[in-house]
A and B are shown apart, each in its own frame.
Chain A
Amino acid sequence: MAEKKSGLYELTKGIIKENPTLVTLLGMCPTLAVTTMASNGIGMGLATTFVLVCSNAAISLLKNVIPKAVRLPCFIVVIASFVTLIEFILKGYVPALYDSLGLFLSLITVNCIILGRAEAFASKNGVFRSILDGLGMGLGFTLSLFTMGSIREIIGTGQWMGFDLHLPVTMTMFIMPAGGFFTLGMVIAMVNKITKKKPPQEIGCANCPNAASCPTFNKGNSDKKEAAAQ
Chain B
Amino acid sequence: MKSLLVILLSAIFVDNFVLSKFMGICPFLGVSKKLDSAAGMGAAVTFVMVCATLCTYPIYMLILVPMGLEYLKTIAFILIIALFVQLVEMILKKKVPSLYSALGVFLPLITTNCAVLGVTILNIDNSYNLVQSVVNSLGAGLGFTLALLIFSGVRSRVNAADVPETFKGVPATLIAASIVSVSFMGFSGMFG
Contacts and interface: CB of A to CB of B under 8 A. Distances in A.
Contact of A185 (B78, B79, B112, B172): B172
A13 interface: no
A115 B71 contact: no
Which residue, of A26, A80, A214, A230, has the highest number of chain B Cβ atoms within 10 A?
A: A80
Nearest to A230: B33
Interface string A179-195: 11110111011001100
Interface stretch (B1-9, B23-31, B138-146): B23-31
Interface in B126-178: 165-175, 177-178
Contacts of A178: 178-179, 181-182, 185
B71 A77 contact: no
Contacts of A33: 21-23
A169 B114 CA distance: 35
A211 B178 contact: no
Interface of B: 19-27, 29-31, 33-34, 37, 71-75, 78-79, 82-83, 89, 104-109, 111-114, 117-118, 121-122, 125, 165-175, 177-179, 181-182, 184-185
25 contacts: A28-B22, A28-B25, A32-B22, A33-B23, A80-B78, A80-B79, A83-B74, A84-B72, A110-B113, A181-B174, A186-B171, A188-B171, A192-B166, A192-B171, A199-B165, A200-B170, A201-B169, A202-B169, A204-B29, A204-B31, A208-B109, A216-B89, A216-B104, A224-B104, A228-B106
Please give me the 3 A-B residue pairs with the lowest Cβ-Cβ distance, nearest first: A204-B30, A185-B174, A181-B178
Interface of A: 25-26, 28-30, 32-33, 72-73, 76-77, 80-81, 83-84, 87-88, 103, 106-107, 109-112, 115, 176-182, 184-186, 188-189, 192-193, 199-208, 210-211, 214-217, 221, 224-225, 227-228, 230
